């Protein structure tokens, strides 16, 4: 079933400008319906504790629908991370998936607003699929956010609230606060926690964005014999510079380059040893396309 869902989502077209290897509902959702797919390639991160390295690839897909009045958004998301830990032997095949169903309820107007977001999720290694009925409670996650917004002036607005997800690796409930400043009609600055970004409208069909945000997750995994289970935890921060080019009103293609730093891994090895590892900062590049409808 997991493979079938992934295959369906990969038909989607994409939009990679966000740092979004993590499944989250803390960030404001796009206010339009879309199909999207993006990919990121990371260089190998050398482990500080010894002669080992971790490679990472991500494949993300989303479909989102908005209802009439733009007050309710819902959809399906998939985050696919491929970890290659060499020469260590983790108790997982390295193919890790998160499937989630985001729902966003919006109220208010441009002056004052409120958003309630929730997304049940399954986060697991690919070989759990055949044993899902037995392990679904261990792989189940709940992502949630309560976000208030208030306009301070014509150019400045505030957003604040609380979020709960795995962007910092282990599940955490944390505050979210940001100030958005429309510096110029073409420049917009967002300063806050957990995300800050600067965006610039280069031309009518070309925009650029620089962004820093946490990136992490936790997966329930089985070893290759499907007899031992454990949790695989990843946590990092990503700084990314992205360009989005609107081919027309419906299609957008994107490219990005960035650095993934403060890499942390927690995993169980085949001999059942639990290890916590730190990795060097690495370069990441991404590409994708999105269809808006």
CATH, residue 65: 2.40.160.40
**Which of these, 84, 74, 78, lies nearest to 4 by C-alpha position?**
78
**Which of these, 118, 38, 51, 47, lies nearest to 81 by C-alpha position?**
38
Per-chain mean pLDDT for the chain: 91
Q: What is the pLDDT at residue 290?
A: 98
Q: Output b/e per residue, 273-286; b: 16+ Cβ within 10 A.
A: eebebebeebebeb
The domain of 281 spans: 2-292
Indicate the number of domains in the chain: 1
**Residue-wise DSSP of 118-175:** EEEEEEEEGGGGGGHHHHHHHHEEEEEEEEEEEE-SSSEEEEEEEEEESTTSS-EEEE
Whole-Å CA distances, 204 to 116, 201, 287: 32, 7, 21
**Which of these, 212, 210, 205, 199, lies nearest to 256 by C-alpha position?**
210
pLDDT in tens, 174-196: 999 999 999 999 999 999 999 99
Q: What is the pLDDT at residue 227?
A: 84
Question: Would the pTM count as exceeding 0.85?
Answer: yes
**Which of these, 36, 115, 121, lies nearest to 73 by C-alpha position?**
115
pLDDT in tens, 137-173: 999 999 999 999 999 999 999 999 999 999 999 999 9
Cα–Cα dist 33/3, whole Å: 24
Q: Which two tokens stand for residue 88?
A: 């260590």
Of all helices (H) and strands (E), which one includes residue 3?
helix 2-9
Bridge partners (DSSP) of residue 217 are: 234
Instruction: Examine the pLDDT at 4 and tell me if it is beyond 80.
Output: no
288: three-class secondary structure by DSSP: strand
């Amino acid at each position: 079933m997991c493979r079938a869902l992934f295959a369906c989502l990969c038909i989607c077209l994409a939009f990679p400008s966000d740092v979004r290897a993590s499944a989250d509902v803390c960030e404001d959702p796009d206010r339009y319906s879309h199909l999207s797919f993006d990919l990121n390639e990371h260089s190998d991160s050398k482990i500080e504790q010894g002669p080992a390295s971790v490679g990472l690839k991500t494949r993300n897909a989303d479909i989102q629908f908005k209802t009439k009045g733009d007050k309710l958004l819902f959809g399906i998301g998939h985050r696919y991370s491929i970890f290659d830990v060499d020469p260590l032997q983790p108790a997982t095949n390295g193919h890790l998936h998160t499937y989630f169903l985001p729902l966003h309820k919006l109220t208010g107007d441009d002056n004052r607003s409120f958003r309630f977001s929730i997304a049940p999720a399954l986060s697991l290694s690919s070989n759990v699929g055949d044993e899902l009925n037995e392990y679904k409670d261990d792989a189940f996650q709940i992502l949630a956010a309560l976000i208030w917004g208030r306009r301070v002036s014509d150019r400045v607005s505030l957003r604040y609230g609380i979020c709960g997800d795995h962007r910092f690796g282990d599940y955490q409930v944390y505050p979210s606060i940001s100030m958005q400043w429309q510096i110029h009609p073409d420049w917009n600055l967002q300063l806050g926690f957990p995300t800050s970004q600067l965006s610039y409208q280069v031309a009518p069909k070309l925009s650029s964005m620089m962004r820093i945000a946490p990136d992490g997750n936790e997966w329930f995994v089985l070893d290759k014999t499907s007899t031992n289970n454990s949790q695989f935890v990843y946590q990092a921060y990503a700084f990314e510079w992205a360009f989005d080019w609107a081919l027309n009103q419906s299609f957008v293609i994107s490219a990005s380059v960035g650095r993934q730093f403060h890499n942390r891994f927690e995993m169980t090895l085949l001999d059942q040893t639990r290890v916590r590892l730190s990795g060097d900062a690495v370069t990441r590049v991404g590409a994708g396309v999105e269809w808006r409808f």
